[in-house]
Structure 1
């Protein structure tokens, strides 16, 4: 029900914000599946870590168990369980332990070891792949005189991940849902981002791949939201062509059109 109410609020707000214009001075970015992606399937990466601990498990079984554990933890402990006194590391440890427990692994010491290792492994670039168009788009935005920040439903590892992937220097600030205490599509995280920008929403753009979390929520505040749809699979009728991107290479020219 909360998601439906949020969606209704966002949709109604778009009617009031769509006409606001002004020069773009800041570009805000989503990260996962926008600038970078997980290099291999979670099942494969979890199985690799399990093998180091002496376990051999089928990838598909682990993948299915992970999806179930992730959904359950997201429902019971949203935004890394901050409201229940958890943090990102404790939350992910719960997901990992639930995943392997479903696959028959019950040794608590082994589960703790694998959970710690996986959390640390996902800090580094070996488990992440930067999209080919990410660096060029970020550099182009800087060349156009625009400052850049991140608004992401990520945990505290984001800075280390971006540093390892060679992207950190592009950003003036990183705002994660763990750090902000709220997660997209809650508009509060974007309001916090606007405070960091120090400019009205009409002077800020946001790029992301999620229709509600990134596009609708940012647009509801008057931010220039762009929906990244690399595979042309998001058929949302209320997203006009000028708000859609099939590649980040399209963004600089689009931003220049907005600014001119």
Structure 2
């Protein structure tokens, strides 16, 4: 892995173009679960009288999740949009199969206790399950105060809009005149497709033509140098954005990809790395992740052309402020 590490505040030079547009991924970037997703499922199951052993069955459900998600997504693509399902119905099917992985007698026809699915779905739209990290609001405020256009670019469904409203961060991305929320569900394109980022840039320029002011012939390639996308997935976020001509930033709070030293998967089981990453998407513990990310808060990694890795938003805020 050919990378360069720089500490914020030291003499090593790193100049990033002044940001004009910053988009962020949603899950595990804007917000994260307080405890692992399957732990919450199991806790609700126990509440409704299911015979579940939380430590053991949580682990079984976590191991089954990647294949379940893939199966449901292949059968009902785009969160059910093309199949006449609502996102809530799509997630219900996934939740049922997660419980089936530890309680085989459960089926869609002979399903879970009345109210359980509705209770789970409702909680996953609120701060009962999700929270934001302490460094998010200061970063969003910095962007707002410096006239940086903020947007959300995520491979997800519209339930996300309910969640960001309930978490109190929606107004950074949505106002009376414009919305800069771009979801794969609506666009019918997914990251890392270059067209995803191209569409966003075209739309943002349409809403704010001043972004190309003083650029020769409205040079889009010049503007792309001032565009940033931040997310927690190396391929979809960092590489996807950089391949589209943007600056791609990987927010890796747990050092899952190993850019800050030995990664957390070294010497672990023979589970394929992509499967392990899929499990870790739902295995987040916010308090633990916050403590871990602070160990690398003053570091920024150059991972490739227009590709950077950080562990906190504060790292980026500090760097942008130094360059003002």
Q: Shorter-chain TM-score: what band?
A: 0.7 to 0.9
Within 5 Å, which residues of 2 pair with 1:183-202? 183-198=190-205, 200=220, 201-202=224-225
Alpha-carbon separation, structure 2, partners of 1:30 and 1:197? 16
- Residue number among 107, 110, 113 corresponding to 1:108 in the alignment: 110
Within 5 Å, which residues of 2 pair with 1:2-81? 23-59=18-54, 60-65=56-61, 67=65, 68-81=67-80
**1:178 matched residue in structure 2:** 185
Task: Specify which structure has the higher proportion of helix.
Answer: 1
For residues 52-82 of structure 1, the C-alpha deviation after alignment (integer angstroms, 9 at most, x for no partner) is 3222312232442351422422344443133
Query: Is 1:250 equivalent to 2:312 in the alignment?
Result: no
CA drift of 1:154 comes to 2.1
- Residue number among 153, 159, 162 corresponding to 1:160 in the alignment: 162
Q: 1:77 to 1:228 in 2, by over 3 A?
A: same
CA drift of 1:112 comes to 6.5
- Residue number among 239, 251, 257 corresponding to 2:303 in the alignment: 239
CA drift of 1:255 comes to 3.9
SS of alignment partner, residue 152 of structure 2 = strand
- Conserved in 2, the CA contact under 8 Å of 1:100 and 1:111? no
Q: 1:209 to 1:109 in 2, by over 3 A?
A: closer
Query: How many correspondences in the alignment?
Result: 239
SS of alignment partner, residue 96 of structure 2 = helix
Q: 1:152 to 1:111 in 2, by over 3 A?
A: farther
- Conserved in 2, the CA contact under 8 Å of 1:185 and 1:214? yes
- Conserved in 2, the CA contact under 8 Å of 1:36 and 1:129? yes
Q: Structure 2: state its 5+ residue gaps.
A: 1-15, 175-179, 206-210, 212-219, 260-300
Q: 1:23 to 1:133 in 2, by over 3 A?
A: closer
Query: Is 1:215 equivalent to 2:242 in the alignment?
Result: no
Q: 1:184 to 1:231 in 2, by over 3 A?
A: same
Q: 1:180 to 1:39 in 2, by over 3 A?
A: same
TM-score normalised by length of structure 2? 0.66
Alpha-carbon separation, structure 1, partners of 2:203 and 2:321? 23
- Conserved in 1, the CA contact under 8 Å of 2:42 and 2:57? no
SS of alignment partner, residue 96 of structure 1 = helix
TM-score normalised by length of structure 1? 0.80
CA drift of 1:100 comes to 1.8
- Conserved in 1, the CA contact under 8 Å of 2:96 and 2:112? no
SS of alignment partner, residue 23 of structure 2 = strand
Q: 1:257 to 1:82 in 2, by over 3 A?
A: farther
What root-mean-square deviation, in Å, do the aligned CA atoms of Structure 1 and Structure 2 show?
Answer: 2.7
- Conserved in 2, the CA contact under 8 Å of 1:23 and 1:203? yes
